[in-house]
A and B are shown apart, each in its own frame.
Chain A
Amino acid sequence: MSNRALIVRDLSKKYGDLFALSHANFEVPLGTICGFVGPNGSGKTTTIRMLLALIAPSGGSGEVLDISIDEPEKYLPFIGAMIEGPAFYPALTGIQNLKVLAKIGGFSLDRIPGLLELVGLGNRGDSKYKTYSLGMKQRLGIAAALLPNPKVLILDEPTNGLDPAGIQEVRDLLRKLADSGITVFVSSHLLSELEMISEYLVVLREGRVIFSGKTKELLAKQQPRIRVKSNHPNGIQIAREIAEESGHNCEIFGDELLVTAPPEYGSELNLQSFSRGITLTEISPIHPSLEETFFEMTGTEMIHEAGR
């Protein structure tokens, strides 16, 4: 057995002439949390649905726990999944909804109370699903995904609708599950959230994988920056000239200059600015975030906002 939970090779899904997913390639190591990132419509849910045998690929192949996705009956008993938000029967209680899935999957009903406790629904299991808040529905979805005591947990946007405390709880839960050996494959548009918990990342854009690998490798792809401010009227213009003469890219946003350079360049820039009669009031390195890198890679126009 390999040490890969998921392997995707040239996986594609085509609707008419449009590729929802085009020749995707990535691997997810066992026992890690892998973030699956991409803007809406980039193919995340399509990929997840193919891995769960809900839709048929147009081409390529995939393996889950070393078993081809053409044989889902062999690996799905070891997979927990929540796809595109929670989906349950409104007229049934939380416990009854979990019973339906436990019976279909052949899992022990004894796990249900413990799972409800785990996701913070211990005292609402007997309430009908239609009375649940969005956050409670998400928690029930996670509890349902954990019913099989899975080796791989696939969660599609699990924090949608949760308040900050709830998001933190889910984040802690995922970390705890990964520490116990479960591979967690989680999609989210909350990039900062994935940056904090994911060791691996797969980034999609318009149906194509534009990055797959360790999170720190993605972060390394972005040049570090230095934020510079000055109280001199032309201070940041002069600082820009100095930095550009030294071969660094610069951008001015409002009253600040962003210099693409390692943190140690800050002291040199300060020294050269001082020698040209300019006082810099702020020289601070900006640590690249996943969000910045992501927006750069996906080509959206939020790079400045993210960079700040």
Chain B
Amino acid sequence: MLRVFAGEWVKLRRPTLLLGTLGAVGGLVAMVTSVIYLLIDDPGGNGDRGRTISREILQLPSGFSLTFAQSAGLLGLVALCIFAAQTAQEYTYGTLRNILVRQPSRMKVLAGKYLAMSLFALIVVIFAAIVGMGLSYALSGRAKVITDAWFTTDALFDTANSFANVIFATIAHGTVGMVLGLLLRSPISSISIGVIWILIVESILVAVRGSFAKYLPGVQLSNIGQGGSDDLTFIYSVRYALIFLLAVAILASILFKRRDVAN
């Protein structure tokens, strides 16, 4: 498994992929953070779907990592795309056969790839946290946000908590991407179906009937990243996500183990 991890890492660490992803994620988190701080007094709101994230909320110990946590959904989508592409491209390039000749244990191949992509996701999330929190501090003066509570033990605990939630949500999104890549064997199909489902289909379903939210995997993963909400508890979302991910991962693993590699 570690050998597959090392091989996969050669692909993932190439500058165009790693730096490109960090640049894109840094830009997204910077955008979210800038909007929250620069539009703090805007009557149209400064948060998701017109919500207002007030100065009082940002001044709490959890305010330091709040913008980073708000980016969890976007980080998840990035992870979904990368996991799906890295998995499905082995079929489209025909490189899976090379890998399986060098490592015939298909479960070790899956585990090694998953580990490498999870490390990639961890690096991306750490970078996003640095950008989000760094920019929050940089913009706090202009937005007249008092940051005294950000440098307390409570803030450290909240930041660690946010980071854990975001990394869980990001890797969970990535897991969905990897499963789609294994099932569909095409980067374009797996990415488009994953993104369309999470961004469009789930949004429509929730808009049609709010109670659908508790049955939708994308909603649960975003909710985990943001530490839970009034409508869905954090614990409920974690339980749902674990059961869902376990089920789809087992299904995809069985298929991967048994399916002929004919391309």
Contact = CB atoms under 8 A, between A and B. Distances in A.
Interface of A: 49, 52-56, 72-73, 76, 79, 81, 83-85, 87-92, 96, 99-106, 144, 148
B94 A89 contact: no
Interface residues of B, number: 28
B7 A104 contact: yes
A87 B261 contact: no
Given A76-B102, A91-B16, A104-B4, A99 B95 contact: no
B151 interface: no
B27 interface: no
A100 B104 contact: no
A103 B3 contact: yes
A96 B10 contact: yes
A143 to B, nearest CB: 12
Contacts of B8: 100
A49 B95 CA distance: 14
A91 B20 CA distance: 14
A132 to B, nearest CB: 14
B113 to A, nearest CB: 10
Interface of B: 3-4, 6-8, 10-11, 14, 16-17, 89, 93-95, 97-105, 112, 258, 260-262
A94 B42 CA distance: 54
Contact of A104 (B16, B102, B261): B102
19 contacts: A49-B97, A49-B260, A53-B100, A73-B105, A79-B101, A81-B101, A84-B97, A87-B95, A88-B95, A89-B93, A89-B95, A92-B10, A92-B11, A99-B7, A103-B3, A103-B10, A104-B7, A104-B99, A104-B112
A139 to B, nearest CB: 15
A55 B260 contact: yes
Contact of B93 (A49, A84, A90): A90
A54 B102 contact: no
B11 A89 contact: yes
Contacts of A49: 97, 260-262
B102 A101 contact: yes
Contact of B3 (A73, A92, A105, A144): A105
Given A49-B262, A54-B260, A83 B14 contact: no
Nearest to B99: A104
Nearest to B260: A55
Nearest to A129: B93
B97 A96 contact: no
Given A96-B14, A100-B11, A144-B98, A53 B3 contact: no
B11 to A, nearest CB: 6
A106 B95 CA distance: 17
A103 B104 CA distance: 14
Given A73-B104, A81-B101, A100 B93 contact: no
Contacts of B10: 92, 96, 99-100, 103
B91 to A, nearest CB: 10
Nearest to B103: A104
Nearest to B263: A84
A100 B4 CA distance: 8
Nearest to A50: B260
6 tightest CB-CB pairs across the interface, nearest first?
Answer: A87-B94, A55-B260, A105-B102, A104-B7, A72-B104, A103-B7
Contacts of A96: 10-11, 14
